[in-house]
Amino acid sequence: MGDMTSHTSAVETRPTAPVSGRVAVVGNGPVGQTAALLLARWGVPVVLLDRRRQRDAIGSKAICQQRDVLDTWETVGAGRRIADEGVTWTTARTFHRDRELFAYTLADHGRSSFPPFVNVSQARTEEILDERIAAQPLIETRWGREVTGVTQDADGVTLHCARTTEREGPGGRPEPGRRPATIRSSTCASQ
Ligand SMILES: Cc1cc2nc3c(=O)[nH]c(=O)nc-3n(C[C@H](O)[C@H](O)[C@H](O)COP(=O)(O)OP(=O)(O)OC[C@H]3O[C@@H](n4cnc5c(N)ncnc54)[C@H](O)[C@@H]3O)c2cc1C
């Protein structure tokens, strides 16, 4: 990932070769969000699919974000915001009732400007990443699409959704002529 002390140049890095095609990312959780943002950062168009209808901001879920993750998020413009909103800690203490069993301190920042860990709710993390996705024209987000299978041949990749099918050619564009007409109104893109 390169030198993380230079976040600005990391964000501005672009591939030298032209990018063709589009990548489907299945799952719009933090990992899928991050994958989509990183691909888009490299100029790769992305369609981000999730079987859920919308975000369900329930529970604490993943509340502990490690420094290397913050570094990665910073390359897509989210790391500093998440780090600043989170609670920073460097020492982990494990207790049994009121007795401390052991503790360890993570003080070395290495070349990163971020702390070893921050605590922030997964819902808030997803919200911030969603803002970055909304600002990224190369990412198209589609909720309510359950991917049930993927097939590939020489001409392209077909994603099979629970109720829908969408086919793309090598250039990432839908191929209407290759799709059965009956799925025109029920592709992943519509519904
Ligand atoms: C109740 C609960 C408590 C948790 N507590 C903690 C905690 O304290 N600390 C911690 O670190 N972690 C915790 N976790 C785990 C944390 O939520 C996960 O590590 C994190 O969400 C993983 O992110 P992800 O993007 O990989 O997966 P997810 O957030 O699960 O996202 C995956 C997405 O993929 C979608 N999907 C899956 N299959 C398909 C398909 N076929 N087609 C389309 N979409 C699909 C799903 O709908 C989902 O939105 C908890 C989880 C739960 C449920």
- For the chain, give the mean pLDDT: 80
Distance 7 CA to ligand 1 centre (A): 28
Q: For residues 107 and 171, what is the distance between their CA atoms, to the nearest angstrom?
A: 47
Per-residue pLDDT tens digits for 46-104: 999 999 999 988 777 899 999 999 999 999 999 999 999 999 988 889 999 999 999 98
Tell me, yes or no, if the pTM score tops 0.85: no
Burial of residue 186 (CB within 10 Å: 0-12, 13-18, 19+) is middle
- Cα 43 from chain centroid (whole Å): 15
Contact 13, 27 (CB under 8 A): no
Verify whether ligand 1 is closer than 6 Å to residue 75 (CB atom). Answer: no
Between 40 and 177, residue with greater pLDDT: 40
pLDDT the model gives residue 189: 37
Verify whether ligand 1 is closer than 6 Å to residue 183 (CB atom). Answer: no
Contact 47, 27 (CB under 8 A): no
Q: For residues 62 and 33, what is the distance between their CA atoms, to the nearest angstrom?
A: 14
Between 108 and 187, residue with greater pLDDT: 108
Backbone angles phi, psi at 14, to 5 degrees: -130, 150
Verify whether ligand 1 is closer than 6 Å to residue 61 (CB atom). Answer: yes
Between 127 and 17, residue with greater pLDDT: 127
Asked whether the predicted pLDDT for residue 175 surpasses 90, the reply is: no
**CB neighbours of residue 14 within 10 Å:** 8
Q: For residues 50 and 28, what is the distance between their CA atoms, to the nearest angstrom?
A: 5
Contact 28, 52 (CB under 8 A): yes
